[in-house]
Chains A and B, each alone.
Chain A
Amino acid sequence: MPIEFEKVSFVYEPKSPFRHDALRDIELLIEEGVTTAIVGKTGSGKSTLIQHMNALLNPTSGRVKVGDFVNSSVKKERSKDLFSLRKKVGMVFQFPEYQLFEDTVEKDVAFGPRNFGASKEEALKMAHEALLRVGLDESFFTRSPFQLSGGEKRKAAIAGVLATKPSILVLDEPTSGLDPASAEETMLLFEEIKKEGTTLILVTHDMDLVLRHADKVVVMDEGKVVKVLPPEELFQTDLSDYSLDMPKVYAFARKLQERGWQLDMKDVRDVPGLAKAIKNGRRAS
């Protein structure tokens, strides 16, 4: 299911002195099956953009199409079936563990399916499946979410979104606050879910994550989409205008290049890849 933004603008508090143009004339196609990263500094419009994808916000002008669902500035054009849209577009917000609220883990995860009309039994079954999927076994089902560690809470919160089996998954800083191994584990889980046909949209400041997982990067600045390109092309350009960091491998490679090294960075996505590129690289003498 593709997502299409057609001339979308969004203004917060349009008729007040606090008026803020958060999105300006966005034209953007997010293709099915392509992992798309949305990057840009804080305040560039990333969050506002993703909130249009499941109609948490309606555009001030223009139109967003998610499959055959239409989210438009014109009330008459808007599709009515918000339930099925929100079932299709799952959102894992930043630090989702702060949103756990039920007294047991299974009830918390079952909340989504229940909300979308599943019976109590069905919802629990879906919750159990999702929990096993994220690596929380039966011993966790009836525990209080508040007794879990930070990493376990994160998994429970992700299970809550997976339980409704979304076809698009929007991930807002999915690994922040996780230890390196849990971060890796979490991304592996999402990669698996992607293989089963779910489209991933990644919102992040972590350029290492972008380099390793994204097929395409959307760069935002002051409410506009300023670039759409593959990560390896993005990181060859000057990013300081958008206050984006370089992935660590690129930052190090650049320092070597400044000292006369020639490196082929085409396939470099991680540390072992950079080590190979250095081994095969040359120093101009």
Chain B
Amino acid sequence: MSLAIKAEHISFSYAKDGPRTLDDVSFEIKEGEYVALIGHNGSGKSTLARILAGLISELDPNASLTVFGMEYDKEHSAEIHSKIGLVFQNPDNQFVGATVRDDIAFGLENRAIDPSLMDAIILESAASVGMEEYLDQAPENLSGGQKQRVALAGVLALRPSLLILDEATSMLDPKGKREILALVRKMRKENPSLTVLSITHDVEEAVESDRVLVLAGGKLILEGKGEEVFSHRELLEENHLESPFVHELSLALREEGVDVEPTLSEEGLLEELCR
């Protein structure tokens, strides 16, 4: 399978000779994969997202970054950007239109999409996030969750191959969170080649992903499937991270002398306890 992202020796400092926000980070993400990137506050997660989005381009000379097989340089950056969709944390900061329709149209206009096709694309992407009834609403009449769905619709309208979610659910209430995650799941089902990189604090979301990357102090300290990554509980704790609830509970039960296996599966733990 071909690679969506191949990052090698990515290092970056905001100030010249300042501390390294990212320190020799290398990883690969395959096309169609759903990868969760977790890390403590200040671990470099958002900086990595900015680099992938092309908002930061001055990388260390040893660094190499290719996206969909293209070197991330001046020559290819426009084409790479056309394949990436970004949704950020704050629903208010990324709503640029006067109405939902305008907001979704913004990206399409930027890409000079044929205006005669636009209405249909806008309607389709609004419908795919359940916001087709709100096309003429202004942002102040929408909840945070609805605004994030519009942000997602705006990104979807451009048919990205790589979707980067930078803590896209962290300002939402539990219902809003669930809706966004369900939408991402639906999008991947409809388009299995869509690659998703989700930067998140939500370890319960990370469990659902295909693979988890863990950043700490600018370094990639763990990578693998959820079960593998969350088995390194002490290392995660040292780096301000926690294990998913079910895993913590299975370990706490063992400490109490209850005979269960460490697990990430709620169903598995319930079955074991009811055997």
Contact = CB atoms under 8 A, between A and B. Distances in A.
Interface string A249-285: 0001001100111000000000110111011000100
A181 B176 CA distance: 24
Interface in B190-224: 201, 203
Contacts of B111: none
Nearest to A280: B256
Interface stretch (A84-92, A118-126, A143-151): A143-151
B19 to A, nearest CB: 11
A179 B46 CA distance: 13
Contacts of B46: 150
Nearest to B257: A279
B233 to A, nearest CB: 12
B142 to A, nearest CB: 11
Contacts of A176: 170-171
A177 B273 contact: no
Interface string A83-113: 0000000000011001000000000000000
Nearest to B240: A181
A43 B143 contact: yes
A240 to B, nearest CB: 12
Given A94-B171, A176-B170, A182 B249 contact: no
Interface string B13-47: 01100000000000000000000000111110010
Contacts of B40: 151, 179, 181-182
Contacts of B162: none
B258 A278 contact: yes
B270 interface: yes
A255 B273 CA distance: 11
B143 A42 contact: yes
B245 A252 contact: yes
B66 interface: no
Contacts of A274: 249, 252
Given A149-B41, A275-B258, A252 B266 contact: yes
Nearest to B92: A98
Interface string B149-179: 0000000000000000001001101111000
Contact of A152 (B41, B143, B255): B41
B41 A182 contact: yes
A177 B245 contact: no
A261 B273 CA distance: 9
B257 A259 contact: no
Which 7 A-B residue pairs are closest in the complex by CB-CB distance? Answer: A151-B41, A149-B42, A181-B240, A275-B252, A180-B242, A179-B40, A279-B256
Interface of B: 14-15, 39-43, 46, 89-90, 143-145, 167, 170-171, 173-176, 201, 203, 237, 240-242, 245-246, 248-249, 252-253, 255-258, 266, 270, 273-274
19 contacts: A41-B173, A147-B15, A149-B41, A151-B40, A177-B201, A178-B41, A178-B201, A179-B40, A179-B43, A181-B240, A243-B175, A245-B174, A252-B246, A252-B249, A259-B274, A260-B274, A261-B274, A275-B255, A278-B258
